[in-house]
């Protein structure tokens, strides 16, 4: 809705006040939300978006746009106001729908809902870490594709963050790396208002933040009045002029700016201002328009469509010149930014899997994973790998890997495709998400499975956003051995399976590992976790049809001549135990089918007919085997060989034996289930016989009574 006004040319304060008005109106209408941050950061946003941001509201996916991240995502009405005012497809009705079911304007910015929202934010610290990943993607992509006279990748990443983000440890994992890598096109704005939900932060946040960031090798602009457009403009210009370091602009602001009674207080942090206070705020700001009313001249002052169209048109001309001189690079750039696989992918991927099968090797699946990377890597220049300080153990550095890590004071070579993140599992994972969101890369990163716990919320965010991050987790069980229970994952595999949209693969040998990698590469709308062993696992022989069925998540690895007496379901290292147990039971004339289920979620996505063909309901004697907690398997089997307690420090072989992961124990479990099944059948038979005899006696008695009655007649 709009209204006219006598003011022909609105000033900066008028433009910023439009954000404040929309924010307090939307929060008030929703009866929940956070008006304080958008009201406090409105002036910063106005200067950045009107004077510096390179974007096109008509094409939010333009490859060379600047990226904007609202890390303090609770202030979501700030970005929604910006998107609406500058001309994105976000209507006033959408703003009025703030925080309502299925709206484009949820309580925190959600990737994929409103056009122009670059990432989902809310869990504090992850937004700025995504931003570091985006800035890294920009720098690496530029090094890979830019050529003399052709800067087709040349954009900034701007991040707003508050005190809460500064307190979260993940922010510092990532910001430290940003300084090390010299990400000069990353500019962060610290909303230094001294307020969080509990009140004044001086009781729990007394860091010297500028010195901390200077120590990270950031360029720091201190003491900027966050309500002075001239000072803000100068600070942004200064930050952009420093190209060898990321910049932090320390903006001193007043939370809830404009509210006569609540500004500067935590009372406006996470609650509506109230109708009376909003009226007073309008008066204090000189905003003479009703709720959700924006004058045409304000819209005109904010309109970014003309500038955006001109900027993109200029870039398109540059790209055309680039394509004329470097046609192959241009085609590859377009393919990668579109997220498309190479044209020959299907044929090449199948050849990789067939080649690995022909070798019939029996390595640890972490080694099999490296073999798969060596095969797939040359096909996928978009791969960007890394590890949280465990590269030699995770086996993520393949023959074509080229590190970007700086050495001995030298500048990093950003044309590479691999990064050692240091001991930063959480930071690594959220940076990977930022790279995936930026486009042009398929990021993968590794650590021990146990330490996925440090990164858990970044994994959840990847799944929530349905983005393609590939998490590689090795040392997948008590098979880790002597490092003991602190390093031995027990509950991690089942809980990863519980994350919606997360693909989880635990392969049993090199062939399944290659198929798992292929599935992760082809899964464009969601992350994947690859669960890999430390110890060697035997190669399993398969037909071509069985190899094809691996991609379905669960398949029959060993079958019987007729209906199975029992079925053993297993994953990863325990598949070999299942095969050994089936062989032993065959010697006892027991027909046992072995089902390998490397991916439960992939199996459950299959149609009912296929699932029934693998696990027929008629066969109730089933045993599941996995070196993890048992709970998730009872929907498939009444008996589970697993581990519902923490591990111990000892050689892996001793632990597997002590915890029952042996062929003999699996055999015993199957025998026990078969015995119980026969007992139940016998019981049912006896009941049936009893009822048959009873029926016969009852029938005889009735017949005798009928004869007597007939006689008396």
Residues with catalytic roles: 425
Q: At what angle do helices 12-30 and 275-285 cross, to 10 degrees?
A: 180
d(CA 305, CA 189): 25
Note whether 616 and 556 are within 8 A (CB): no
Q: Compute the half-sphere exposure of residue 443: CA atoms within 13 Å on the CB side of its CA.
A: 30
- Residue 110: exposure state from Cβ atoms within 10 A (0-12, 13-18, ≥19): buried
d(CA 537, CA 558): 17
Q: At what angle do helices 425-438 and 456-465 cross, to 10 degrees?
A: 20
d(CA 147, CA 319): 11
> Containing H/E element for 76?
helix 76-86
Which positions ≥6 away from 405 have C-beta within 8 Å?
A: 412, 419, 420
d(CA 667, CA 580): 9
d(CA 502, CA 494): 12
Helices and strands (H, E) in the chain, number of each type: 26, 18
In our burial notation (b when 16+ CB lie closer than 10 A, e otherwise), range 401-433 reads bebbbeeeeeebebebbbbbbbebbbbbbbbbb
d(CA 268, CA 285): 16
- Residue 527: exposure state from Cβ atoms within 10 A (0-12, 13-18, ≥19): buried
The two beta strands, 247-252 and 383-387, are unpaired
At which residue do the structure tokens 């995504």 appear? 130
d(CA 118, CA 115): 8
Which positions ≥6 away from 346 have C-beta within 8 Å?
A: none
d(CA 356, CA 378): 16
In this structure, what DSSP letter does residue 74 have? Answer: G
d(CA 295, CA 105): 22
d(CA 112, CA 60): 11
> Containing H/E element for 44?
helix 36-51
Note whether 21 and 295 are within 8 A (CB): no
Q: Strand, helix or coil at 87?
A: coil
* Positions of E strands within 602-660: 622-625, 639-641
- 186 DSSP β-pair partners: 157
In our burial notation (b when 16+ CB lie closer than 10 A, e otherwise), range 114-139 reads bebbbbbbbbbbbbbbbbbbbbbbbb
Phi/psi of residue 494, nearest 5 degrees: -60, -40
d(CA 590, CA 664): 15
* Positions of E strands within 317-435: 383-387, 418-420
Note whether 38 and 259 are within 8 A (CB): no
- Residue 706: exposure state from Cβ atoms within 10 A (0-12, 13-18, ≥19): exposed
């Amino acid at each position: 809705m709009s209204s006219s006004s006598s003011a022909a040319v609105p000033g900066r304060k008028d433009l910023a006040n439009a954000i404040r008005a929309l924010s307090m109106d939307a929060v008030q209408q929703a009866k929940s939300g956070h008006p304080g941050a958008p009201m406090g950061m409105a002036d910063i946003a106005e200067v950045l978006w009107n004077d510096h941001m390179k974007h096109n509201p008509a094409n939010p996916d333009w490859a060379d746009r600047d990226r904007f991240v609202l890390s303090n995502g609770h202030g979501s009405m700030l970005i929604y106001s910006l998107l609406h005012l500058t001309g994105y497809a976000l209507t006033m009705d959408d703003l009025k729908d703030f925080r309502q079911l299925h709206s484009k304007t949820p309580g925190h910015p959600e990737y994929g809902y409103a056009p122009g929202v670059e990432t989902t934010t809310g869990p504090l610290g992850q937004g700025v870490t995504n931003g570091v990943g985006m800035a890294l993607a920009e720098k690496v992509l530029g090094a890979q594709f830019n050529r003399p006279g052709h800067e087709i990748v040349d954009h900034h990443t701007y991040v707003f963050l508050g005190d809460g983000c500064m307190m979260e440890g993940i922010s510092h994992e990532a910001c430290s790396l940003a300084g090390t890598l010299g990400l000069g096109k990353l500019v962060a704005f610290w909303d230094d208002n001294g307020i969080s939900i509990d009140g004044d932060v001086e009781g729990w946040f007394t860091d010297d933040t500028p010195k901390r960031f200077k120590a990270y090798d950031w360029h720091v602009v201190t003491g900027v009045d966050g309500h002075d457009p001239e000072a803000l403009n100068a600070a942004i210009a200064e930050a952009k002029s420093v190209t060898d370091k990321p910049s932090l602009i320390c903006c001193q602001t007043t939370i809830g700016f404009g509210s006569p009674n609540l500004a500067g207080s935590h009372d406006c942090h996470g609650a509506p201002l109230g109708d009376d206070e909003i009226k007073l705020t309008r008066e204090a700001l000189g905003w003479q328009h009703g709720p959700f009313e924006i004058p045409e001249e304000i819209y005109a002052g904010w309109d970014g469509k003309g500038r955006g169209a001109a900027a993109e048109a200029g870039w398109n001309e540059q790209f055309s010149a680039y394509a004329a001189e470097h046609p192959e690079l241009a085609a590859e750039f377009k393919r990668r930014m579109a997220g498309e696989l190479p044209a020959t992918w299907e044929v090449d991927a199948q050849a990789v899997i067939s080649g690995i099968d022909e070798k019939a090797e029996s390595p640890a699946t972490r080694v099999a994973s490296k073999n798969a990377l060596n095969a797939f890597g040359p096909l996928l220049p978009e791969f960007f790998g890394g590890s949280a300080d465990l590269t030699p153990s995770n086996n993520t550095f393949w023959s074509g890997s080229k590190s970007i890590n700086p050495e001995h004071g030298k500048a990093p070579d950003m044309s590479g495709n691999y990064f050692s993140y240091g001991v930063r599992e959480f930071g690594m994972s959220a940076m990977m998400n930022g790279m995936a969101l930026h486009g042009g890369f398929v990021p993968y990163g590794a650590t021990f499975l146990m330490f996925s716990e440090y990164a858990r919320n970044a994994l959840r965010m990847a799944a929530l956003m349905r983005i393609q991050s590939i998490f590689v987790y090795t040392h997948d069980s008590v098979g880790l051995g002597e490092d003991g229970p602190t390093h031995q994952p027990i509950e991690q595999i089942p809980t990863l399976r519980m994350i919606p949209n997360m693909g989880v693969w635990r392969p049993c040998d090199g062939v399944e590992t290659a198929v798992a990698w292929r599935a992760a590469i082809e899964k464009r709308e969601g992350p994947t976790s690859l669960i890999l062993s430390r110890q060697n696992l035997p190669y399993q022989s398969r037909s071509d049809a069985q190899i094809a069925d691996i991609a379905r998540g669960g398949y029959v690895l060993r079958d019987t001549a007729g209906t199975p007496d029992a079925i053993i379901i297993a994953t990863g290292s325990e598949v070999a135990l299942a095969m050994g147990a089936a062989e032993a039971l065959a010697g006892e004339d027991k027909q046992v089918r072995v089902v390998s289920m490397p991916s439960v979620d992939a199996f459950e996505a299959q149609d009912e007919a296929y699932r029934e063909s693998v696990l027929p309901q008629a066969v109730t004697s089933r045993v599941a085997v996995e070196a993890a907690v048992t709970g998730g398997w009872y929907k498939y089997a009444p008996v589970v060989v697993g581990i519902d307690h923490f591990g111990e420090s000892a050689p892996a072989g001793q632990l597997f034996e002590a915890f029952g992961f042996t062929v003999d124990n699996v055999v015993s479990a199957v025998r026990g289930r078969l015995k119980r099944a026969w007992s139940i059948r016998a019981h049912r038979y006896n009941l049936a016989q009893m009822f048959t005899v009873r029926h016969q006696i009852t029938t005889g008695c009735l017949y005798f009574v009928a004869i007597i009655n007939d006689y008396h007649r």
